[in-house]
Amino acid sequence: MRLIRSFCIAFSMYSRLPVPHTEWTEDDMRYVMCFFPLIGAVIGLVLIAWTSLAAHWEIGKALFAGVAAVIPAVLTGGIHLDGFCDTLDALGSRQPMERKLEILKDSNSGAFAVMGCCIYFLLLFCLWQEWALNGKSLCILAVGFVLSRVLSGLSVVCFPCAKNSGLLAMFSHTADKRRTAWVLAAYLVLSAAFLLLVDARTGAAVLIAALAAFGYYRWMSVREFGGTTGDLAGWFLQLCELAILLAAVIVQKI
């Protein structure tokens, strides 16, 4: 039952998908991050379904790209996008570390958040328009939503926390870090193997892009904030998914 409750907490927190309500007890939150990547699997399946429908109904590229760009935000309720915007405001302020951490907690959106969010969705829309329908590439992009959440989850249990309060700190402190890290590592190995088996060239490009974003995230979070936070984890997830799509499109072009 503990694992079922952890599953419900993960889906109720990080998605809009309906799950039974459960209390957030410390014991039940120990394995929440183990189920976090499964939300990416659902997003990937919805993307595959939408792509199939778009091909069957001969939907135009613009409408296909627009829906594909917003599917993750709709299914997650924009929780990661919120962190992305808060992080852009903090980074754009160019203030000392302490002030940046205060900006992350501000619920108001500043100019950097608005501009960054518009640019982000514009890039997503353009990349989906440039992407050519291909079954293998589609499977790789679908698994990319799992991969981004695996890496984000690993940051929660492996990266230093920038502060002792907040949602990420709560998940980090209550998690069974050793077991969670092993489970997420298994996800990572399986995801990488799948990507390379489906299409070695595209899979390798996507892996490199995701790991490069992860490395930059580790460097940036420590340098600018002294560690990671829930907002920074959301910022990374959005950046990682953009990098994965960009890598898949570049491979198709060359």
Residue 71 has pLDDT above 70, yes or no: yes
Are the beta carbons of 221 and 168 closer than 8 angstroms?
no
162-166, 168-172, 209-213, 218-222, range with greatest mean pLDDT: 209-213
Are the beta carbons of 9 and 33 closer than 8 angstroms?
no
Residue 29 has pLDDT above 80, yes or no: no
In a domain, 184, yes or no: yes
Query: Looking at residues 43-71, what average pLDDT do you find?
Result: 95
Tell me the residue range of the domain where 85 lies.
2-23+33-253
In a domain, 140, yes or no: yes
106-110, 115-119, 179-183, range with greatest mean pLDDT: 115-119
SS (H, E, C) the chain: CHHHHHHHHHHHHHCCCCCCCCCCCCCCCCCHHHHHHHHHHHHHHHHHHHHHHHHHCCCCHHHHHHHHHHHHHHHHCCHHHHHHHHHHHHHHHCCCHHHHHHHHHCCCCCHHHHHHHHHHHHHHHHHHHHCCCCHHHHHHHHHHHHHHHHHHHHHHHHCCECCCCCHHHHHHHHCCHHHHHHHHHHHHHHHHHHHHHHCHHHHHHHHHHHHHHHHHHHHHHHHHHCCECHHHHHHHHHHHHHHHHHHHHHHHHC
Mean pLDDT is lowest, of 7-21, 31-45, 146-160, for 7-21
- Backbone φ and ψ of 94, nearest 5°: 55, 35
137: Cα within 13 Å, side-chain hemisphere? 20
pLDDT at 1: 66
pLDDT at 59: 92
In a domain, 223, yes or no: yes
pTM of the model: 0.92
In a domain, 176, yes or no: yes
pLDDT at 195: 96
Please give the share of the chain, as a percent, with pLDDT higher than 70.
91
pLDDT at 168: 55
Residue 130 has pLDDT above 70, yes or no: yes
Query: Looking at residues 226-247, what average pLDDT do you find?
Result: 92
In a domain, 28, yes or no: no
pLDDT at 30: 73
In a domain, 195, yes or no: yes
Cross-strand partners of 228: 161
Please give the share of the chain, as a percent, with pLDDT higher than 90.
54
In a domain, 156, yes or no: yes
Of residues 163 and 134, more confidently modeled = 134
Return the closest-CA partner of residue 35 out of 1, 55, 57, 8: 8
In a domain, 180, yes or no: yes
Task: Find the Cα–Cα–Cα–Cα dihedral 237, 40, 66, 208, rounded to 10°.
Answer: 50
The number of distinct structural domains making up the chain is: 1
Largest CA distance in the chain: 53
CB-count exposure of residue 226 (10 Å: 0-12, 13-18, 19+): middle
Are the beta carbons of 214 and 199 closer than 8 angstroms?
no
pLDDT at 26: 65
pLDDT at 11: 81
pLDDT at 2: 67
Query: Looking at residues 86-110, what average pLDDT do you find?
Result: 83
For 178-236, write each residue's pLDDT tens digit: 788 889 999 999 999 999 999 999 999 999 999 999 999 999 999 988 888 888 999 99
